[in-house]
Structure 1
């Protein structure tokens, strides 16, 4: 009994410094790594959330963009970082896509190599078409496409991008044959759509909205399960194709082994950010919906989407460029 008590006391003594450090976190700036280039919507949204988080943490939260490798560079950096709470990841939908699309990329299984902290936001895509296309509703577009298999060209920001997978899911659910034209980013695809060189695409709301308002393209439907308040007159695809839901999302992740008190505090300040009405209104004007969700919610989302996107990638035989 005495020997067992001695071991327990020794273990408690070793754990005490770790607990104390976790309770004191953070004592210096925290780095929030993202997988996207500076200046884009994802970067600006991450910075807005980081700014709100640092107010509660009492320490600077730096955003460190690490684009490349379909966001695998950023995810790998965090997965391999010291689990002390000072390097966190704003992980995205690509974590659920890469295992099936590019299985050689690391982390090969983000579900087991990253620790979910909490949900941050979602951002849907708007399906819009060139005004010369004689359709104004999604049922009309589906009927038009079925009557002309292989004659419609729809763009995306690249093979395996979320808006490409939204297109593939739409093709599958609607039962139509549309030719996918991948571009290197959303901007060149949008240029060709305005010029009529392609007939449609799923695009980020912030990118598509000016062309829609100017009449250069016509909004047909939103990719989210429900309508977006910013474009409340545009129906969701799910209103025609029940069960359809495809959005870009981001959530906060930490390295495996990060102490629970640090994860819990990070989750608390993230939740405060996602529930901030002023921040929510500011981002809603850009087509971004802050979303509160704990670690279990984010883990479940990653699990479900890994299965959903993986199945679609295999069924459609999508291969990385």
Structure 2
């Protein structure tokens, strides 16, 4: 058999053997030139909220690092599931990303049939972005000024204290479930469609207490319509420096609403590295950090591995809480 015929014979028998190097060269070239067009970051919540605010701040700082514009596209719905499923189903080229949140760790146990069923395998972590604690605040009629006093009051009045949340499965609802499990209290959960109507009802005294985002609660606390008891972060926060952590009464207690940047599964390592480096520049920028701190948001620098570990840890923790409390979405 001639040399030419042997080459053709091998190519016919194993076409992938010749095609693979070309594919690899194409992928390497794509990574080397990334990005060469605008990037979209999908926000899973409505525009104007804390996630949208943080995402836009970071995107604006990432743009000069990447040499491309970044568009923030809000796709709210189904407790972030709409945005999650959209990005998970896209080509992993780095041009459409997800600003994923703590909800990625809650949904697998809360709504096991919602796509993607396993966010840990459906996405490629890129890097951490922000963390935001909750303020535990109460209506002024509640005779408690510390976490310990609030727990004692709830124990003395089992089933009588009403506790609002942004909705079943929302992170402030999960925080309540963790709190009442750790504190051993019996309270009535009152879910709302978002934080705004819950805030109105706690100000009016129709509910007694709730964990609320700093941005939602701070005005109400400062003008005396509600009383702040504690913050859910491990340490005090700059906008309310006198507010102690819940952990002073319940050692080890800490919950935050986090955000992190993800791409679809299979995102090339070179693209992850390029995006992650730009994100870390943004999260360590002092002007970005200062603007976030004004809203009670902490810029959270961290690499892909930290984000992967955070998602895995919180998926286990919130899954356990959801199963023990038998939480269901109707």
1:136 equivalent in alignment to 2:129: no
Partner of 1:229: 238
Partner of 2:323: 314
After superposition, residues 1-321 of structure 1 pair within 5 angstroms as: 11-321=20-330
CA contact 1:127–1:220 (8 Å) conserved in 2: yes
Q: CA RMSD in A?
A: 1.6
- Deviation (angstroms), 1:163: 0.3
Structure 1 unaligned residues grouped into runs of 5+: none
- Deviation (angstroms), 1:10: 6.0
For 1:64 and 1:192, how far apart are their aligned partners in 2? 31
Partner of 2:4: none
Structure 2 unaligned residues grouped into runs of 5+: 1-6, 11-15
**1:157-202 deviations in Å (ceiling 9; x for gaps):** 1011000111111111111111100011101000010001111100
- Bigger drift between 11-20 and 148-157 goes to 11-20
For 2:180 and 2:46, how far apart are their aligned partners in 1? 30
The 3-state SS of whatever aligns with 1:252 is strand
For 1:255 and 1:154, how far apart are their aligned partners in 2? 37
Task: Answer with 1 or 2: which has the greater Rg.
Answer: 2
For 1:80 and 1:192, how far apart are their aligned partners in 2? 39
For 1:88 and 1:136, how far apart are their aligned partners in 2? 43
**1:203-258 deviations in Å (ceiling 9; x for gaps):** 01011000100001000011112221221110111111011111111100011122
For 1:8 and 1:107, how far apart are their aligned partners in 2? 33
The 3-state SS of whatever aligns with 1:89 is strand
The 3-state SS of whatever aligns with 1:238 is helix
- Deviation (angstroms), 1:40: 1.1
TM (normalized to structure 2)? 0.94
For 1:142 and 1:258, how far apart are their aligned partners in 2? 47
The 3-state SS of whatever aligns with 2:185 is coil
- Deviation (angstroms), 1:8: 7.8
CA contact 1:69–1:105 (8 Å) conserved in 2: no
For 1:106 and 1:227, how far apart are their aligned partners in 2? 37
TM (normalized to structure 1)? 0.96
Runs of 4+ in 1 over 4 A off after TM superposition: 7-10
